[in-house]
Structure 1
Amino acid sequence: MKRIILILFILFIIIYSGTIYYHLKKSLPNGMSIEGDIHQVEDVELLTDLTYKNKQNERIVEHEIVDSMIKEVQNANEFIVIDMFLFNKDTNKDQEYPRLVEKFTEVLIKKKQEMPSIDIVFLTDKINTVYGSYNSEEFNKLKDAGVKVIETDVKALRDSNPLYSGFWRMFGQWVKTGGDGHLPNLLANSAPKVTTLSYLELLNVKANHRKLVITEKSAIISSGNIHNASGYHSNIAFKVNGNIINDLLQSEESTARLNETLNLPRIKIQEESKAEVKIQILTEGKIGKHVLKEIKNTEKSDSIWIGMLYLADRKVMNEIKAAAQREVNIYLVLDPNQNSFGNKKAGLPNIPVVAELRKAQAEKYIHIKWYNTGKEQFHPKIVLIERNSENTIINGSANLTRRNLYDFNLETDIKIMASKNTKVMKDTKAYFQKLWTNDGAEFTKDVDTKSNLPLFRYIIYRLQGFLGFTTY
């Protein structure tokens, strides 16, 4: 009997290990992890959302991104494609937020009613219904109005949480989630209850994390969600036009194919070959490739500006340290990770990351500030690299984390390359300088260099990164 148990145990370990390895290294579905063609355009428009306290200690909220997305929807004539990670109105009962979801839903329905022939496709993540635990009122309204809603099936993606997902692949994925929930909704206490099986699927920790709106006239690639509880977050987006729209549409077709075959239209635009600004779409692992390459290629006279919700990837951190040793000046504006949708957090990963960077050999070239957050998050995912010849921006949905940079989540970023004298580069540098110098408000605050990082917090951060059992 003991021998049979031993054989079964060995067989289990072999199958479990093989499952982990395969789903960690398997090929991605077609159309994932792409670097698009480089397109030349006259310029790119920077869009920002900012929440801050002015000199009179008043809370100011400036919304530009969602308002611009709404305007693009209203101006569309041929098609609208939206891919949005978070799109729900769920909040904690004691909190009030802007009603972004209700407003955007109404705009889409009105557009479909005014132009019944226009194609509207809305891709999103299953997190909005906690993997089928309940129905989304907004999704139902959109479907009833004729909008195609696709909750992305991410099972075909690689597993970012392999030790857990190995068990899930073997035993859990065959059981259908959904049904009447009975557990508290930890994402928002006003939302419906959640089933056990939905929570078990949630623990795979992977998502369609993209945030963009595409029409035949323009595309907006953003760091921000259309999501009530995110309504006060600070974010950055870029509005582009030209044939990069076709690259984005092709990428979204590939995402839709995880669920069903979908053929999206294309546009025809004659691009200006002498235009000053070059733009390129990057998705999934190609974002990590380009971020690392751009930081690695910096020299002594260059500068790196980073505005980020999460900075945790070891490769990126090593390149930042190496750049500092080359005497590249690096400016980091980071979220302190102490609040998420009104709930307190432990400061992971950014607090231990900052403590580590402060101890780097060339620490004097690494300048760090916290964004002065309240109940909101500093949610951008932007890298600006200044060179004498050509500046580079990489911005979109991807944080500088393993999950976001290396083919686990679905992510979309835009890479912008242009002279420092172009409007988009001037505007982006001005944005960073405004935050850094606290021009007109208390946007940022200095890092407390006297406080010591608790050892247990650093251990948890490194352990989470090693095991993959984390959201970053």
Structure 2
Amino acid sequence: MKRIIIVFFLLFIIIYSGTIYYHMKKPLPEGMSAEGVTHYVEDVKLLTDITYKNKQNKRVVQHETFETMLKEIQHAEKFIVVDMFLFNKDTNEDQVYPPLVEKFTEELLKKKKENPSVNIVLLTDKINTIYDSYPSEELNDLKQNGVKVIETNVKQLRDSNPLYSAFWRMFGQWGKTKGNGHLPNLLAKSGDKVSILSYLELLNVKANHRKLLITENAAIISSGNIHNASGYHSNVAFRVRGNIINDLLESEESAARLNEQINLPRIPQQAETNTNIKIQLLTEGKIGKHVIEEIRKTDKKDSIWIGILYLADRNVMDEIKAAAGRCVHIYLLLDPNQNSFGNKKSGLPNIPVVAELRKSKEANYIDIKWYNTGKEQYHPKIMLIERETVDTIISGSANFTRRNLYDFNLETDIKITANKETKVVNETKSYFQRLWTNDGAVYTKDADAQSELPLFRYIIYRLQRLLWFTTY
């Protein structure tokens, strides 16, 4: 009997280990981890959503990205494709947020009513119904009025939380969740109840994390969600035109085909002439590849600006230190990770990361500031590298974390390469300088504040890094 138990135990370990290995290394679905061709364009515009305190200590909210998205919906006549990670109005009961989801839904429904032939597709993540625990009023309204809604099937993606995900794949995924939740909604206290099976799926921590809008006229690649509880977050986005729209549509078609066969429209191919601006689509792991390559290519004549919600990837941090070792000036503008949708957070990962960088031997070339957040987050994911003549911008949905940069989540970024005198480069540099110097308002504060972590939380941080069991 004892031998039988040992055999079964060893067999279980083999199967469990094999499940971990396969789902970490398995082939990606077709169309994932895309590295688009380089396009020459003339029209790229930086859009910013900024929440800040003015000189009178009053909080000011600007929603340039959201308002531009609404205008692009109004101007569309042929198709609208939206891919949005968070698309819900769930909030804590004691908090009031801008009704972004209601306005956006209303604009889509209005467009469909005015022009029934317009093809509207919305891709999103199952987090918005906490994995089928309850229905979404907005998604149902869109479906009932002719909008194609796809809650992306991310099971085909690789596992970023392998020790747990192997258990879920072997035992948890076979249960069916359709309502009947009894557990509290940890993402929004006023949200509907959640089932235990939904929580088991949620713990895989994988997502369609993309945030973009595409029409026949333009595309907006953003760091921000259409999500009420995110309504005060600071974000950045870029509006682009031209042939890259077809690259984005092809990428979105691949994401949609994780659920079903679907053909998204295309725009007529346009002639391109050499301009001072080049643009390229990057998704999933190709984002990490280009971020690391661009930092690695810097020398002492260059500067690196990074504005981001999460900085945690070890490879990126090593390249930042190596660049500082080459006398590259580095400016990091980070969220202190102490608030999320009105809920308090532990300061992970940015506080221990900042402490590490400030104690490193390369610290003299690394300047760090916290964004002066209230109940919102500093939510961009943007890097600007200044060189002698040609600068590089990488921006979109991907934080600088393992989950976002290495083929685990669905992510969409763009890479812009442009001469220093171009408008988009000047806009991006001005954006960073405005926040860094507190020009006209109190945007940022020195990293000397909030740069230490209690020992217990630091131990948790190290365990999370070791076991890969994180939400960032």
Check whether TM > 0.5. Answer: yes
How much has 1:285 moved relative to structure 2?
Answer: 0.2
In structure 2, the residue matched to 1:73 is 73
Q: Does 1:274 align with 2:274?
A: yes
How much has 1:190 moved relative to structure 2?
Answer: 0.8
Q: Does 1:181 align with 2:186?
A: no
User: C-alpha offsets along residues 374-432 of structure 1, whole Å, 9 cap, x if unaligned?
Assistant: 00000000000000131000000000000000000000001000011100000000000
In structure 1, the residue matched to 2:195 is 195
Equivalent-residue separation in structure 1 for 2:355 and 2:218 (angstroms): 41
Q: Does 1:325 align with 2:321?
A: no
Q: TM-score, normalised by structure 1?
A: 0.99
How much has 1:361 moved relative to structure 2?
Answer: 1.1
Equivalent-residue separation in structure 1 for 2:314 and 2:343 (angstroms): 27
Q: Secondary structure in 2 aligned to 1:53?
A: strand
Equivalent-residue separation in structure 2 for 1:451 and 1:204 (angstroms): 30
Equivalent-residue separation in structure 2 for 1:15 and 1:199 (angstroms): 24
Q: Secondary structure in 1 aligned to 2:425?
A: helix
Q: Does 1:51 align with 2:51?
A: yes
**Greater shift after overlay, 456-465 or 120-129?**
456-465
User: Is the 8 Å Cα contact of residues 351 and 451 (structure 2) preserved in structure 1?
Assistant: no
Q: Secondary structure in 2 aligned to 1:90?
A: coil
User: Is the 8 Å Cα contact of residues 233 and 379 (structure 2) preserved in structure 1?
Assistant: yes
Equivalent-residue separation in structure 2 for 1:86 and 1:451 (angstroms): 29
In structure 2, the residue matched to 1:314 is 314
Q: How is 1:248-397 mapped onto 2 (pairs within 5 angstroms)?
A: 248-397=248-397
User: Is the 8 Å Cα contact of residues 352 and 451 (structure 2) preserved in structure 1?
Assistant: no
How much has 1:273 moved relative to structure 2?
Answer: 1.6
**RMSD between superposed Cα atoms in Å:** 0.9
In structure 1, the residue matched to 2:92 is 92
User: Is the 8 Å Cα contact of residues 41 and 271 (structure 1) preserved in structure 2?
Assistant: no
Q: Secondary structure in 2 aligned to 1:183?
A: coil
User: C-alpha offsets along residues 430-457 of structure 1, whole Å, 9 cap, x if unaligned?
Assistant: 0000000000000000012696433332
Equivalent-residue separation in structure 1 for 2:19 and 2:191 (angstroms): 34
Equivalent-residue separation in structure 2 for 1:461 and 1:145 (angstroms): 46
User: C-alpha offsets along residues 89-147 of structure 1, whole Å, 9 cap, x if unaligned?
Assistant: 00000000000000000000010011001100000000000000000000010011100
Q: How is 1:42-191 mapped onto 2 (pairs within 5 angstroms)?
A: 42-191=42-191
> Judging changes above 3 Å, is the alpha-carbon distance between structure 1 residues 420 and 451 closer, same or farther for their aligned structure 2 residues?
closer
User: Is the 8 Å Cα contact of residues 43 and 422 (structure 1) preserved in structure 2?
Assistant: no
User: C-alpha offsets along residues 65-94 of structure 1, whole Å, 9 cap, x if unaligned?
Assistant: 111111101100110000000000000000
User: C-alpha offsets along residues 262-308 of structure 1, whole Å, 9 cap, x if unaligned?
Assistant: 10111114233222110000000000000000000000010000000
In structure 1, the residue matched to 2:457 is 457
In structure 2, the residue matched to 1:218 is 218
Equivalent-residue separation in structure 2 for 1:43 and 1:266 (angstroms): 19
What is the aligned-residue identity percentage?
A: 75
How much has 1:459 moved relative to structure 2?
Answer: 2.2
Equivalent-residue separation in structure 1 for 2:30 and 2:340 (angstroms): 34
User: Is the 8 Å Cα contact of residues 43 and 276 (structure 1) preserved in structure 2?
Assistant: no
User: Is the 8 Å Cα contact of residues 178 and 197 (structure 1) preserved in structure 2?
Assistant: no
Equivalent-residue separation in structure 1 for 2:410 and 2:244 (angstroms): 18
Q: TM-score, normalised by structure 2?
A: 0.99
How much has 1:31 moved relative to structure 2?
Answer: 0.1
**Greater shift after overlay, 449-458 or 406-415?**
449-458
Across the two proteins, how many residue pairs are aligned to each other?
472
User: Is the 8 Å Cα contact of residues 218 and 245 (structure 1) preserved in structure 2?
Assistant: yes
Letter in 2 for 1:333: L
**Greater shift after overlay, 419-428 or 445-454?**
445-454
Equivalent-residue separation in structure 1 for 2:81 and 2:425 (angstroms): 27
Equivalent-residue separation in structure 2 for 1:9 and 1:48 (angstroms): 55
In structure 2, the residue matched to 1:243 is 243
Q: Structure 1 regions of 5+ residues with no counterpart?
A: none
Q: Does 1:36 align with 2:36?
A: yes
